[in-house]
Amino acid sequence: MKKKILFLIPNLKHGGAEKVLVNLVNNLSQDKYDVTVQTLFDVGVHRGALRPHVRYIGGWKRQPRGMTVLMKLFSPKFLYKRVVKEKYDVVISYLEGPTARVVAGCPDKEIKKVCVLHTQFITDEVAKIGFRSMKEGAKCYASFDEIVACGKTVKEGFEQKFASKQEVKILYNVNETEQIVEKAKEEPKDVDFQGVNFCSAGKLIPVKAFDRLVRIHKRLLEDGYPHNVYIMGVGEEQAKLESLIKELSVEATFHLLGFKDNPYAYVSRCDAYVCSSLREGFSTATTEALVLGVPVVTTECSGMKEQLGDNDEYGIVTENSEEALYEGVKKLLANPELMAHYKQQAQERGKKFCRVETVRAFEEFVDNL
């Protein structure tokens, strides 16, 4: 008998967690598992990337503002009965917050409940998103059979905020490594890469702090380091970023490319990948850059030292400030030999996150539930 597994996630929009969920379910054994992906809201570009053998159940057709608040009016048990209509062997909330609250309401003791965390809980406000309070969050998480984190700092943040006594396992995100390398061969038609080029990718939202990158770019140009920056992504901060780019007169060298179905064609042709985020879970984008052998400079946030080493062995991790990131990017621009060194190191580190190993680890975890 195949093990029947449900993955519940808010949506399949253009985020890192959404993308690696699709990577995971597409690669789980079809002989061993009957896999369903269900969303609370039937929206998102990654829906089309699910392979035919993965069953998809969409939720509400729109995701209006305030839905997270509205859902708190109902109990987890009520929400579970409203959302999940079938019986499964394993039900997995593939994000913390709202879907974790829903899955916590499962009344069937025979069903194994799992929560996969992707966010570093730095503050109580972040930790209790989706819950009525920290107390309710702690109660809901305690009801899970297993809590899984996508990285060490995500694990530590959860244990600290919820004083968790249960063991939190670490399972790294699944990346389609062979597919990434193959897609990187495609030639971009809208960019003619000249000189030194940096890139980044992600939703244009405050936590990604792309505004810091715009200001750093301006300073480096003034310091005599010509280069271009390419950002792939869409989001609520687009107008603000466009305004800042215009204000600093860097329209010719700082480019917002929008969402790209194949970001690897762009990343692979850049000299380095820069992450300016205030916080991350376990960055899919930086992992993919390593797979492509592209040097990474990043602020220190969840998962970065796991990827790049405690002492910058495989890339540069700076303090999480604009000034520190500026110095880190400047170090690469000023030292071509260092850039070449980190290119070699990125190629070596990328092997750690290969698809086969990460899928095997997840299947072993499910088999032992």
H or E element that contains 6: strand 3-9
pTM metric for this prediction: 0.76
User: What's the structural domain count of the chain?
Assistant: 2
Do residues 29 and 89 both lie within one domain? Answer: yes
Do residues 93 and 148 both lie within one domain? Answer: yes
Do residues 223 and 166 both lie within one domain? Answer: no
Do residues 249 and 157 both lie within one domain? Answer: no
Mean pLDDT by 10 residues, the chain (369 residues): 96 88 96 97 92 95 80 95 96 96 96 95 92 95 95 91 86 91 95 96 95 98 98 96 98 96 96 95 90 96 91 97 98 96 95 89 96
- Tell me the DSSP string of 233-255: ---TTHHHHHHHHHHTT-TTTEE
Do residues 187 and 151 both lie within one domain? Answer: no
Do residues 105 and 62 both lie within one domain? Answer: yes
Q: 145 with 114: CB under 8 angstroms?
A: yes
Do residues 195 and 334 both lie within one domain? Answer: yes
Do residues 28 and 90 both lie within one domain? Answer: yes
Q: 28 with 9: CB under 8 angstroms?
A: no
Do residues 242 and 313 both lie within one domain? Answer: yes
Cα–Cα distance, 328 to 276 (Å, whole number)? 11
Query: Which pLDDT tens digit goes with each residue over 153-207?
Result: 899 999 999 977 788 999 999 988 999 999 999 999 899 999 999 999 999 999 9
Q: Provide the b/e sequence for 294-304 (b: ≥16 CB within 10 Å).
A: bbbbbbbbbbb
Query: Which pLDDT tens digit goes with each residue over 304-357?
Result: 999 999 999 999 999 999 999 999 999 999 999 999 999 999 999 998 888 998
Do residues 242 and 348 both lie within one domain? Answer: yes
Do residues 90 and 182 both lie within one domain? Answer: no
State residue 139 phi and psi, 5-degree precision: -65, -45
CATH number for position 129: 3.40.50.2000
CA distances from 111 to 115, 126, 143, 145 (A): 13, 28, 12, 9
- Give the residue numbers spanning the domain of 317: 178-352
**Residues composing the chain:** 369
